[in-house]
Structure formats: C-alpha cells, structure tokens
Amino acid sequence: DQQVKQNSPSLSVQEGRISILNCDYTNSMFDYFLWYKKYPAEGPTFLISISSIKDKNEDGRFTVFLNKSAKHLSLHIVPSQPGDSAVYFCAASGSSGTYKYIFGTGTRLKVLA
C-alpha cells in the first residue's frame, strides 16, 4: 500500500524555466510534508517543508503548495538551474507517535543547460 505516490519517475526542464514536481498521498492523518533532494551515493538533503495548517511555503527558488482536499502537494523550482538535477522525494508524517516519514518513490529531475 503506497501511501505517498510520485507518479512521474522523471522530468526534464530547460534551464531558467519552472520545474513542477508532484506528490499525492492517501492517508488523511498526514499533517507534515517535506521535500528532499538526493544525489547518487549521498543521503537525502532537506529542501522545504509544509504543515497542514498552511497551503503554501516559500524558500528562495523553492515553493511547496499543499492541497489538502485533493491530498496533493507540489514543489515548484523557479528558475531551474543545472545544479538542481537530482532525484526529489516527497515525504509525509503524522502528528503523533514517532513522526516517522513515509516517502514517495522519487522523481528524477534533469535541468538542461
């Protein structure tokens, strides 16, 4: 049972354009969501998070949008840069217990120069 889904395994975007990565979840108990970036042979690096009390959070070139009714979140990267090329994972957590993360399967972003 995949509670967090990233349905696009890969995405290619031209440098300077917007990258939009999508994530869907099924568990309505999730209330904290994060995006991580991962390079090969390295651990995930935290990018940005959003609590369920918000619908948008911005940090520089990165913006995360949360649509609770649709159980959908997205990560926007503007403008995209070649250094953004990596695998992006979304993760979700509930508000009690261990706060363990449930991850999606990742989207490989390639930013073309």
Partner 1 sequence: DTGVSQNPRHKITKRGQNVTFRCDPISEHNRLYWYRQTLGQGPEFLTYFQNEAQLEKSRLLSDRFSAERPKGSFSTLEIQRTEQGDSAMYLCASRTGGNQETQYFGPGTRLLVL
Instruction: State the residues that interact with partner 1 by CB under 8 A.
Output: 4, 31-32, 34, 36, 41-46, 49, 51, 89, 91, 93, 95, 97-106
Q: How many helices (H) and strands (E) does the chain have?
A: 0, 11
Q: Distances in Å between the alpha carbon of 49 and those of 32, 62, 80?
A: 7, 10, 19
- Shortest distance, position 100 Cβ to partner 1, whole Å: 4
Q: Which is nearer to partner 1, 7 or 14 (CB)?
A: 7
Q: How far is the CB of 79 from partner 1 (least distance, A)?
A: 25
Nearest CA to 20 out of 107, 82, 112, 91 is that of: 107
Smallest separation (angstroms) from partner 1 to the CB of 28:
17
- Between 4 and 75, CB nearer to partner 1: 4
Please report which helix (H) or strand (E) contains residue 90, including its range. Answer: strand 86-94
For partner 1, the closer of residues 49 and 74 by Cβ is 49
Q: Which position has the token pair 């992006």?
A: 88
The residue type found at 50 is: I
Shortest distance in whole angstroms from residue 104 CB to partner 1: 5
Please tell me the distance from the alpha carbon of residue 111 to that of residue 67, in angstroms, as a whole number: 26
Whichever of 18 and 29 has its CB closer to partner 1, that residue is: 29
